[in-house]
Amino acid sequence: MPYQKKTILAILQELNNTIYLPAIQRKYVWKEEQMEKLMDSLLLGYPIGTFLFWKVPGKVINDKGYSLYEFIKNYHERDCAINPHAPKPITKEKIHAVLDGQQRLTTLFIALQGTLAMKMPMKRWDNDNAFPKKELYFNLKSQKRNEEEEITYEFKFLKEEDIQKDESKLWFKTKDILTIKTEVELMQFIIKNKWENDNLIVKNISTLYKYLVVDEIINYFEIERDSIDEVLDIFVRVNSGGTVLSKTDLLFSTIVSHWDNAREKIEELLKTINKYGEGYRFDNDFIMRTCLFLLDFSIYLKVETFKKDNVFKIKERFEDIKAAIITMVGFLDEWGFRSENIISYNATIPIVYYIFMGGKLDNKSKDELRKYYIIAQLKQIFGTASNTALNNIRDIMKGKTDKFEMAELQSLRFVGDRTFQFDEEEIDALFDLEKGAYTFMVLTLLYPNLKFAMQTFHQDHMHPYNDFKDGNLEEKKIPKEKWEKWKTDRNKLANLQLLEGKENESKNDTPLADWLKIKENRENVKYLPENISYDLKDFETFMEKRKELMKEELKKILLSK
């Protein structure tokens, strides 16, 4: 069957009517810039790619219970980012399910029929005002002024009240062009707005009308199959040839072809765990790999791994898998881990496995699990060849549910000769770490009794960061040749402590010597060297002595017994 053609206007009228999305499709992921660039390409007359549709009788969809989804028209990054189910049963004799072209068609639907609400930078997700509703506008005075400019036709998602009066721009609501039925009506519209003498405006709105209403620029090919398995094979072949879909997206498509509501189940789980505490960034890849790990399947993310029997077992045990994952995320929150101080999400999978297998969760085992998680990241066990690392860890853990002990893992060796064991040289190297996720992990080992789930703790500079400004160092008569080193060292482990957020804010830039004059501070601070000066001029001595105290404690925690 040859390629067929339609106008953009015609194809939009069929979305959510006779054109839907199959369950194997991923969610919408394009950003505003991509959407606006697609519109520019359209008006330039550039090809926007072909589309692949699965033509299937409505009766087949109904009889076999295949799930279809609607296109999103009014996209909201928080509240409407997941495609809703299509109505059941399908009443049309024939429908089309989009196998290739979902992102482009969704973009056209939002841009020319709906609205867009993306989160504004630096705004909270729970703030409704962080998601202003915008529509696509076209600057009818668009023109490319030089060859270096990437965009010829300027499109922008805007709120109507944000359109500023600017003689160089004339913003036109793009979707309004679809209400014009004929070229005569177009000319009447131009005359009505008194644009007939402006050649640029006339050219631009005529070009818009041509490509959105008149020309058949949507090229699509139909395939007719009754089996979702055959369709999946075509889908994978088409999408794996380029970079349109990631490997994870393709594998996820394999799962949903065998498990009808997998998408909803996994999206619901991700939403639950990513909103836990102060928030995380778990993704589909993590969920799929965890399912394989827990059920003792191969954890290599390949299409053949997700064969029908394996997917059925995942579906059968998913509620147990879900419960174990949520419990693990609760531990992360309890241990003080947030998205900004997590290096490896894969390192959490063995923790989920221990929970899933019914492992004893007394305080000793939980302390050991926390220790495992921190060391796994500090030693970068999952930095490369993470599948091999996971396989080796699972082999050791099988059948051991009475307790969890780090010692069981210390015989393992990983890529780059990494192990879970520390020696004194490696402990020394921890003191060269600068403030960040890794220093936070070490500090949680050194401050094991803090209640992270109850309050937020910050990494505080004991000698305040701002004490190391040039003017202050000069005033304190610190030799200039030491300035750069001191500025680096102020961010290192020996000058850091964990303080509750409010306490850290109150301490702020208070010099250490003054802060320690408060009895409560002096009594509660940990690893404070005695009988030395806490003035900034004695910073080097303070760092050396505090390192000794912290190192002794880390040796007790990290060195093999």
Token pair recorded at residue 142: 């668009």
Q: Does any domain span residue 228?
A: no
Structural domain count of the chain:
3
Task: Please name the helix (run of DSSP H) or strand (run of DSSP E) that holds residue 454, with its range, or none.
Answer: none
Instruction: Please indicate, yes or no, whether residues 301 and 407 belong to a single structural domain of this protein.
Output: yes
Q: Which of 254, 250, 205, 210 is nearest to 228 (CA)?
A: 254
CA distance 125 to 77: 10
- Report, in this order, helix, strand and coil percent for the chain, each rounded to 5: 50, 10, 35
Instruction: Please indicate, yes or no, whether residues 56 and 123 belong to a single structural domain of this protein.
Output: yes
Look at residue 96 and give its three-state secondary structure. Answer: strand
Query: Which pLDDT does position 206 carry in this prediction?
Result: 95
Q: Does any domain span residue 230?
A: no
Q: Does any domain span residue 241?
A: no
Query: Which pLDDT does position 386 carry in this prediction?
Result: 82
Q: Which of 165, 20, 156 is nearest to 96 (CA)?
A: 20
Q: How far is CA 290 from CA 127, 287, 342, 373, 394, in A?
A: 32, 5, 17, 16, 12
Q: Does any domain span residue 357?
A: yes
Instruction: Please indicate, yes or no, whether residues 410 and 449 belong to a single structural domain of this protein.
Output: no
Residue finishing a domain among 421, 441, 469: 421
Q: Does any domain span residue 455?
A: yes
Instruction: Please indicate, yes or no, whether residues 359 and 506 belong to a single structural domain of this protein.
Output: no
CA distance 517 to 144: 66
Instruction: Please indicate, yes or no, whether residues 289 and 388 belong to a single structural domain of this protein.
Output: yes
- Confirm if 6 and 220 have CB atoms less than 8 A apart: yes
Q: Does any domain span residue 234?
A: no
In degrees and rounded to multiples of 5, residue 498 shows phi and psi of -100, 125
Determine the longest span between alpha carbons in the chain, in angstroms.
Answer: 92
Instruction: Please indicate, yes or no, whether residues 455 and 546 belong to a single structural domain of this protein.
Output: yes
- Confirm if 151 and 97 have CB atoms less than 8 A apart: no
What confidence tens digit (pLDDT) does each residue in 188-223 have?
Answer: 999 999 999 999 999 999 999 999 999 999 999 888
Burial class (CB in 10 A: 0-12, 13-18, 19+), 290: buried
Token pair recorded at residue 448: 């094991």
With vertex at residue 47, the alpha carbon angle to CA 41 and CA 53, rounded to the nearest 5 degrees, is 115
Query: Which pLDDT does position 504 carry in this prediction?
Result: 64
Instruction: Please indicate, yes or no, whether residues 395 and 351 belong to a single structural domain of this protein.
Output: yes
Q: Strand 457-461 and strand 496-500: pairing? A: antiparallel
Query: Which pLDDT does position 242 carry in this prediction?
Result: 41
Instruction: Please indicate, yes or no, whether residues 372 and 448 belong to a single structural domain of this protein.
Output: no
Instruction: Please indicate, yes or no, whether residues 262 and 411 belong to a single structural domain of this protein.
Output: yes
Token pair recorded at residue 318: 């998913």
Q: Does any domain span residue 238?
A: no
- Confirm if 125 and 78 have CB atoms less than 8 A apart: yes
Token pair recorded at residue 103: 């992102």
Angle between helices 349-356 and 284-294 (to 10 degrees): 40
Query: Which pLDDT does position 243 carry in this prediction?
Result: 39
Token pair recorded at residue 430: 């921890």
Instruction: Please indicate, yes or no, whether residues 212 and 257 belong to a single structural domain of this protein.
Output: no
Residue finishing a domain among 376, 393, 421: 421
Query: Which pLDDT does position 492 carry in this prediction?
Result: 96
Task: Please name the helix (run of DSSP H) or strand (run of DSSP E) that holds residue 54, with its range, or none.
Answer: strand 51-57
Q: Does any domain span residue 239?
A: no
Query: Which pLDDT does position 237 carry in this prediction?
Result: 64
- Confirm if 77 and 239 have CB atoms less than 8 A apart: no
Instruction: Please indicate, yes or no, whether residues 388 and 475 belong to a single structural domain of this protein.
Output: no
Q: Which domain holds residue 399?
A: 246-421
Q: How far is CA 516 from CA 126, 426, 513, in A?
A: 39, 31, 5
Indicate the DSSP class of residue 119.
Answer: P
Query: Which pLDDT does position 238 carry in this prediction?
Result: 65
Per-residue pLDDT tens listing for the chain (561 residues): 568 999 999 999 999 999 999 877 778 889 999 999 999 999 999 988 889 898 989 998 888 777 788 999 999 998 998 888 899 899 999 999 898 889 999 999 999 999 999 988 878 878 889 899 999 999 999 987 666 667 889 999 999 888 876 678 899 999 999 999 999 999 999 999 999 999 999 999 999 999 999 999 999 988 887 766 667 666 666 665 443 445 566 667 667 767 878 888 998 999 999 988 878 999 888 998 899 999 999 887 776 677 778 889 999 999 999 999 999 999 999 999 988 889 999 999 999 999 999 999 999 999 999 999 999 999 999 877 788 899 999 999 998 878 898 888 988 988 888 899 999 999 999 999 999 999 999 999 999 888 887 777 889 999 999 999 999 999 989 999 999 999 999 999 999 999 886 776 667 789 999 999 998 888 889 999 999 999 999 999 999 999 999 999 999 999 865
Instruction: Please indicate, yes or no, whether residues 18 and 35 belong to a single structural domain of this protein.
Output: yes
